[in-house]
Amino acid sequence: MKGKLVRAEGHLANIIPIHLDASFFFERAVRSLDRNHVDKALKYFRKAVEYEPENPVNHCNMAGILSEKGDYEASNAILANVLEVVDPSMTECYFYMANNYANMDRFEEAEQALVTYLEEDTQGQFMTEAEEMMELLYYELDRPTKLNRIKSRKGVVEHDQARELLEEGKFAQAAELLEGMSSDYPDYLAARNNLALAYYYMGLFPKAKETIAEVLEQEPGNLHALCNLAIFHQNENRADQVLLLIKKLRVIVPFQHEQVYKLATTMGILGQHDTAYVHFRRLLKDEETAADPALAHYAAVAAYNTERYDAAERLWHHVSKLDPGSEVSRYYLSGLEAVKQGEQEPEKLSYHYHLPFDEQFRQWENYGSGIPEEMKNDPLIRSSFFWALRHGDRATKLQVIHALGMIGDYEVQQALQSFIEEPGEEKDLLEAAQTVLNGLKSAEHEDRNSQVVRPFSPIALKSIGKVPSTSEQSDTGSTSHWQAVVDRALQMSEAKAELQHEMERLWTDYVSRVHPEVPGTKQIEGWAAGLEYLAAKNHSRPVTYQSIAERYGISASTVSKYAKQIHSVCNSKPPLV
């Protein structure tokens, strides 16, 4: 017996004991999933939770399997328990819950869970997937999701909105948004730099300079802040401070496109045209920026200002190819030819991709058509107006007041009101500004009243069912590029008659609803691409933003932007892919 017992003990000594713990059942669950044994995996994860109830990962794994099995309610119950009891910091659970709600077609609850995830999650692990779900919810709920912030991006949403406003020339609105960010994101220096630019474009130099000082206090070597400060000092005629900053900036060789662009334009404005030319040429050699007509124009200006006339001529011809409809390259090529023929003395040119201020006014007066619609929204032109309103001579200020009256939006009213409150302005200028401002407010009041009493104006009713004719467009202040959008979409799509009719129907519907507002001519590609995308979706055609974007030579986000704008007005509801 004893010998047998020894043998038995020796035999038992070769057996590896099993430790039944959470790790054991976790490994079994993973192995079952690899073999596609979903029910077994769920059973093992339940056992893992029993052994380690405080471990949120096991709970989430169990919720994931229930979601795979289509038991979305049970999955969300587990996820809610994780957030309420086990580990409230597991904010990714909100994203999982949003997926479950979407699969149950409970889109309002999906939106609420998704917004909570974006506003509370610090890591942003599922940002790409969240953006795709936002797009799905946009179409299902027929409205954009209200999102105040994305925590993992620390103010990126607000900053992107502010940058869009700056690019659209809406400086006061951008400033309001960026001011609100200052307390929430005190370390977000890019937002502070853009706030300084907004103040600068509005002519509020002391506030701009104060904001830049705050940035440099936190980061003395911040390139954007140093560039902005140098320009501010130049406006104040502080030559000694400008020279000190030029010495700093000339030895900097940045590699990021945005920083090279900023440094090049700054050096040009500061009169360091040789340095500016070198940096602009660097950008033109890069395929990511080589097709930008504004950049090619800036390089041409730098070449001209350094008497590289042959290079300037080549560059302006290049601008003509990149932007065939622009008057800018033709104007400057004409001036260059006059200088080369000795008919005109060379003068330093400014770094703006539009016609000189006086030339713009001369053309508008000659044409008798007022300010073209696309120029009203050009941020460079708008900023030049606001600048001239505060710092031009008396005649220029009168011209600007008249021009601003033809634009008449919120930004203009803010600028005129600020001008009226400015001490020391001449009485007749103040009276002219007040007259224009009163007229704008009166027109705005009448528009609101007419909308209440008569929802459809006679013009809009007349145009329902057809794109306005050229004569109707001229009567209402519109231009013929309404038709150019649908023409471009038809030309690019090469679609069958059914889809072409749908594009014409959609565009006619959109035009009739927003008439007499007019999209700018520079956005025709975007409008046409968005129109084609919606029409294809309405006819269940397999299409993506990216596939449309590649044919039109624009970004997928641009296609999405204009498709959503048409969709929001027309309330069309394309099926999802």
Asked if residues 165 and 135 have their Cβ atoms less than 8 Å apart, the reply is no
Measured CA to CA, the distance from residue 146 to residue 205 in angstroms comes to 34
22-126 CATH, one of 3.40.50.10140, 1.25.40.10, 3.40.50.10860, 3.40.309.10: 1.25.40.10
Instruction: Provide the token pair at 536.
Output: 């294809």
Instruction: Provide the token pair at 293.
Output: 């007509």
For residues 504 and 112, the model is more confident at: 112
- pLDDT, one tens digit per residue, over 548-568 is 888 887 877 788 888 888 887
Measured CA to CA, the distance from residue 207 to residue 79 in angstroms comes to 49
> Per-residue confidence at 465, pLDDT binned at 50, 70, 90?
very low
DSSP 125-177: TTHHHHHHHHHHHHHHHTS-------GGGTTHHHHHHHHHHHHTT-HHHHHHH
Measured CA to CA, the distance from residue 408 to residue 437 in angstroms comes to 8
Q: Is a pLDDT exceeding 90 seen at residue 264?
A: yes
pLDDT of residue 101: 92
Task: State the amino acid at position 483 in one-letter form.
Answer: Q
Q: Please, what is the end-to-end C-alpha distance for the chain in angstroms?
A: 76
pLDDT of residue 305: 94
Asked if residues 436 and 404 have their Cβ atoms less than 8 Å apart, the reply is yes
**What one-character DSSP code corresponds to residue 521?**
G
Give me the phi and psi of 368, to 5 degrees please: 65, 20
- pLDDT, one tens digit per residue, over 289-342 is 888 898 999 999 999 999 999 999 999 999 999 988 778 888 899 989 998 888
pLDDT of residue 181: 76
User: How many helices and strands in the chain, by DSSP H and E?
Assistant: 32, 0
Instruction: Provide the token pair at 378.
Output: 């050009």
Question: Would the CATH topology of 187-340 be identical to that of 462-570?
Answer: no
Would the pTM of this model clear 0.85, i.e. be above it?
Answer: no
The length of the chain is 577
187-340 CATH, one of 2.60.40.10, 3.30.300.20, 2.60.120.10, 1.25.40.10: 1.25.40.10
Q: Is a pLDDT exceeding 50 seen at residue 446?
A: yes
pLDDT of residue 357: 60
- pLDDT, one tens digit per residue, over 118-162 is 877 766 677 778 778 888 888 788 777 776 565 545 656 677 777
pLDDT of residue 363: 59
Topology (CATH) of 462-570: Cyclin A; domain 1 (1.10.472)
For residues 556 and 208, the model is more confident at: 208
pLDDT of residue 362: 62
CATH architecture of 367-453: Alpha Horseshoe (1.25)
pLDDT of residue 147: 66
- Domains of the chain, by residue range, sit at 22-126, 187-340, 367-453, 462-570
Number of Cβ atoms within 10 Å of the Cβ of 428: 11
Asked if residues 250 and 231 have their Cβ atoms less than 8 Å apart, the reply is no
Q: Which long-range contacts (CB under 8 A, 24 or more apart) does 233-237 make?
A: 234/269, 234/270, 235/205, 236/205
Helical residues (DSSP H) of 171-322, grouped into ranges: 171-184, 189-201, 205-218, 223-235, 239-250, 257-269, 273-284, 293-305, 309-322
Q: Which residues fall within 8 angstroms of residue 337, CB to CB, at 6 or more apart?
A: none
pLDDT of residue 31: 77
- pLDDT, one tens digit per residue, over 467-493 is 333 333 333 333 345 677 877 788 777
Q: Is a pLDDT exceeding 60 seen at residue 253?
A: yes
Q: Residue for token digits 């020894």?
A: 6
Measured CA to CA, the distance from residue 563 to residue 54 in angstroms comes to 47
